[in-house]
Amino acid sequence: MHLLHLDSSAHPTESVSRRLTALFAGAWRAGHGDATTTYRDLVATPVAPITEAYCTLGRRVESRAATTGPVEDLIRTPDEQREWDLTRALADELVAADVLLLGAPMYNYATPAALKAWIDRISFPGAFTDVDGASLLAGLRVVVVTSCGGAYGPGTDATDRDFLTPYLRAYFTRHGVAPDDIEIVTADRTLAALVPGREHQRPAAARSLAAARARLLALAARL
């Protein structure tokens, strides 16, 4: 078993999502004595944004249906080679994982830029399909840990502002991950302890954090 653990919170020490992913990763490793882990801090070591060369190579691949053959045969410039080398390494890392643990705090109702750069980079045409067109991510288990300063879940008046969790669900299912293999665990109202006027939210915030911790420990034991 292999775990790919990614964090994308911009705060290295006060991040709720980082603390929760660390909890899951520790419990998961404890239950899988022979397992291996790859860790990436997408903020400390950012993924390079895609460039014109990435797009040019990608369009060439799509136009020639080159997903059935090696992309290397279509590379024409050093810049395209560099883009492909960066992309292939990260895509292969994901394909090799049995479990993806993704720390994804909500920033401005959506995904952090550090995480979006990783998603854009790995989403090269054909990166997750075999020669027969089958998904290489079938069977991957995805655990997304989100945190948000407010509350955007069912029963709140802000559900239409959550563009983070629907996006991540859509992205991974589009690339072949079964819907039932995607677990999203959220700790909300994280600003209640900090922002004046939100003191009344602190009990709900504490319950949300406790529930997230309990669910992550249960998932670590099950996956």
- Taking only the tens place, the pLDDT of each residue in 120-179 is 999 999 889 887 788 999 999 999 999 999 999 888 888 999 999 999 999 999 999 999
Q: Which domains does the chain have, with CATH numbers?
A: 2-222 (3.40.50.360)
Query: What is residue 154's predicted lDDT score, i.e. its pLDDT?
Result: 83
CB contact at 8 A, 106 and 162? yes
Section 23-27 average pLDDT: 98
- Tens-place pLDDT, residues 188-212: 999 998 899 999 999 999 999 999 9
- Tens-place pLDDT, residues 36-66: 999 999 999 999 999 999 999 999 998 876 4
Least confident piece of the model among 18-32, 188-202, 207-221: 188-202
Three-state secondary structure readout of the chain: CEEEEEECCCCCCCCHHHHHHHHHHHHHHHHCCCCEEEEEECCCCCCCCCCHHHHHHHHHHHHCCHHHCCHHHHCCCHHHHHHHHHHHHHHHHHHCCCEEEEECCCECCECCHHHHHHHHHHCCCCCCECCCCCECCCCCEEEEEEECCCCCCCCCCCHHHCCHHHHHHHHHHHCCCCHHHEEEEEECCCCCCCCCCCHHHHHHHHHHHHHHHHHHHHHHHHC
Give, in order, the Cα–Cα distances in Å from 100 to each of 26, 59, 191, 192: 14, 28, 27, 29
CB contact at 8 A, 104 and 115? yes
Query: What is residue 168's predicted lDDT score, i.e. its pLDDT?
Result: 98
Residue 69's pLDDT band (cuts 50, 70, 90): low
Section 4-13 average pLDDT: 95
Tokens of 142: 């995805």
Residue 33 and residue 172: Cα distance in Å, rounded? Answer: 28
Query: What is residue 174's predicted lDDT score, i.e. its pLDDT?
Result: 95
| pLDDT reading at 85 higher than 80 | yes
Query: What is residue 66's predicted lDDT score, i.e. its pLDDT?
Result: 46
pTM of the model as a whole: 0.93
